[in-house]
Amino acid sequence: MKTLGIDIGGSALKGAPVDTKTGQLLAERHRIDTPRNLTPKEMARAVAHMAEHFDWKGPIGIGFPGVIEESTIWTSANLDKKFIGCDGAKLFGKSTGCPIALVNDAAAAGIAEMHFGAGRDFMGKTLLLTLGTGVGSCLAYQGVVTPLELGHFPWGKHGDSAEKFLAASVLEQKGLSWKEWGGRLHDYVAVLEKLFWPELIIVGGGVSADHKKFFKFIKPRAKLVPAEFFNNAGIVGAALWAAEKK
Ligand code: BGC
């Protein structure tokens, strides 16, 4: 079974056809940069370009960085606010002519990792964090993934959203050292451990490829591992989501 997986992020959308039986990408991943925030209409066009790139006609799974209920987008912290209230399946279905299944981007990464990646065969409590433009999160237990919004956990004097203090985008923008940034992540993970008591913590997002540089500054009780799909987890999980929804 083949499905096109698309991961909409704060600075680009990435996509590839995925074999949903194995989680393998069936073609080289395609990336469309979005240097400024696109309106829903512009994003729909970019998604259509992605489908055209792969000459795609079948089902498409899309990971979106916001709260998703069915196919309605309820939050858009790092993208255009006009997405709020949009029906994503209608928006992207119209531009591509394909059936669309929408899922939160971090939940998509969790689905991929629990099926085929760092959490496969693990039934215990797993917290997955994605570090990118924002901080994505989901919890899995018995392999079942629940989307969370822990990036918006209030962070004391730093504001109402922890992600503004510790996303990977902050590491770049503020020119933090790995040690400084790792220290911030350590404090955050310590709070999350008190609340959720995960046995396994999986870290995804582009920066997870550099995990050796900052994991040493995070000292959790749980086992801490990088996402096996690194930054492709969102693509693979979105494709799996679309396949499961059929
Ligand atoms: C959004 C989440 C998303 C995360 C990572 C946050 O700002 O609210 O829904 O999973 O960013 O993209």
Domains in the chain with CATH codes: 2-107+233-245 (3.30.420.40), 120-228 (3.30.420.40)
Q: Are strands 135-141 and 144-148 parallel, antiparallel or unpaired?
A: antiparallel
Q: How far apart are the first and last CA of the chain?
A: 11
pLDDT of residue 232: 95
- The predicted model scores a pTM of 0.97
Whether residue 7 has its Cβ less than 6 Å from ligand 1: no
The rounded Å distance from CA 79 to ligand 1 centre is 10
d(CA 241, CA 102): 8
Please identify, by atom number, the ligand 1 atom nearest to the C-alpha of residue 67.
Answer: 9
pLDDT of residue 158: 87
Whether residue 72 has its Cβ less than 6 Å from ligand 1: no
d(CA 99, CA 39): 21
Output the residue whose Cα is nearest ligand 1's atom 8.
Answer: 66
The rounded Å distance from CA 57 to ligand 1 centre is 28
Whether residue 151 has its Cβ less than 6 Å from ligand 1: yes
Output the residue whose Cα is nearest ligand 1's atom 11.
Answer: 134
Pocket test for ligand 1, best of 68, 149, 153 (most atoms within 8 A of CB): 149
Q: Are strands 200-204 and 60-64 parallel, antiparallel or unpaired?
A: unpaired
- Rounded to 5°, angle at Cα 63 from 81 and 92: 70
Contacts of 175 (CB under 8 A, 6+ apart): none
pLDDT of residue 246: 59
Whether residue 204 has its Cβ less than 6 Å from ligand 1: no
Q: Which stretches in the chain have pLDDT values below 70?
A: 246
Output the residue whose Cα is nearest ligand 1's atom 4.
Answer: 136
- Rounded to 5°, angle at Cα 63 from 11 and 211: 65
